[in-house]
Amino acid sequence: MQTLLSPNWGIFGIAGLGTLSNGGKGGLGGQWPYICPMTDKTGRRMDNTTTDFPVRVPLATVPLGIWGSLQAGRRNVLELIPEIATRKPILSGTTGKRWHMVMDPQALRHVLRDGVEDYPKSLVTKLILEPAIGNSMFVAEGADWHWQRRTAAPVFTHRNIAALAPVMTAAADRASARFAAASGRAIDAFDEMVAATFEVISDVTFSGGEGFDRAGVHRAIETYISQTAKLSVLDILGAPGWVPRPGRMFSGPALRQMKQMANGAIDQARHRPKTGIPDLLDLLLAGEDPNSGRKMNPDELRDNLLTFIVAGHETTALTLAWSLYLCAFDPKVQDAAREEAQAALGDRAATAADLPALPLIRRIVDEALRLYPPAAFLARTARKTDTLCGREVRPGDTVILPIYALHRHHDQWQNPDAFDPDRFIEPKSIPRFAYLPFGDGPRICIGASFALQEAVIILATLLARFRYALIPGKAPKPVMILTLRPEGGVWLKVDRA
């Protein structure tokens, strides 16, 4: 039975006077079936009971209405998610346009794998991403996506990723030197991890590109994320794609500069001598579709290169920053991880060969990706009539995949808001489509293995050498812009171990 929950609910890309129904049984009229105790920004409950959780997003516990939806969407997209999404398999609504929010693993498997061609990325997703990365494989659909994916897949083989590990080790050493210089003081771990992962992605992409303005590209990316990637009020209202979004018009110069720099790097790479281990750009330049022999033209090369740069440093930096925050939050876990890292590494930085000896470090990374998935909110558009969790889906319906809610769903995880790396001791016991930090199906993140290798190498090195403590009053605030970022930074006191 569908339950009418609210006469005044607004949601991503859809806002106004409508209805919302859940996938549970029974009728509760206009009431919420579950109201979660409110928490403050540190994760502590505000009803005077004693529970400690890492920081989390205050999900909606009352209907937002049009104005509330607009405010929440601009402030933090995740605040549009109802708290009951962490307890129901599906929520649906009608506000002039139908939408479905899906948290059921089997339904997610259908959307992301079995029926992936019937659920292309939403218009809003494309409006946000296309200005920076064009019709790259991250945005392309159908045959256009297939040939690009086949062309790029050899770039990310296990052999190629392992060959690039020394770059990650060197970046871990440089980050460690910066931490040592700040010993006894507070650092913004997010800024530090952005610096480290941008060093990695630029070194593995532009090795030998001494004339390449890496700082300029970094500034352009930050401008893009802070301006272009924010939701527009027009996005929330569901305006057509041809209606200009004023906020994105101002980032045009930065994006043009970023593309010009990437074009210059590609041209330089074409003409430089090929020596040593090929970098990602070398591999991409050499790549071709094994089915057709087609190679990427200059625009396709640039757009996919920028995809790797933007995604390749931002998501790993977030994973590392949240991992350090969680270790500071739970000193016992931090101490155990440090003991593991010191036993494996001694006084050197981690390498790819050390990964098997660092299982707890890997579990901390996995748990950070569960609690703070970089891609925490995805949206698709249904192409044809379908059924999800017994709910009819019609062509044009918006299908929302709230990964943040899925990773904190009470049917899938015990004590879901708690930090517990040991839940990943037996990863095969976790339903595959209940844990989606990199998506799944044919469009699973092509760089997932690269990101995990980098995260474990850098985190192990930094935990072996330093201790981290939270700073009172400086809790990070999880806010979804393009990715799930810590607003205000991740401020930690760092001391030598």
**Helix or strand run (H / E) with residue 484:** strand 484-487
pLDDT of residue 457: 98
**Amino acid 43: pLDDT:** 46
Q: State residue 294's pLDDT score.
A: 94
Strand-pair category, 98-102 with 398-401: parallel
Q: What is the pLDDT of residue 96?
A: 56
CA distance 345 to 355: 10
DSSP class of residue 36 equals: P
Domains belonging to the chain, first-starting first, are 19-496 (1.10.630.10)
pLDDT attached to residue 68: 75
Rg from Cα positions in the chain? 22
Query: Which pTM does this prediction carry?
Result: 0.88
Q: Is 172 helix (H, G, I), strand (E, B) or coil?
A: helix
- Say whether 162 sits in a helix, a strand or coil: helix
- Residues of the chain where predicted confidence (pLDDT) is lower than 50: 1-19, 24-50, 233, 237, 242
User: How many angstroms separate the Cα of 423 from the Cα of each of 449, 457, 460?
Assistant: 20, 21, 19
| Nearest by Cα to 42 from 489, 483, 492, 472 | 472
- The number of angstroms, rounded, from the C-alpha of 227 to the middle of its chain's C-alpha atoms is 18
Q: What per-residue confidence (pLDDT) applies to 470?
A: 97
Residue position matching structure tokens 């192409």: 383
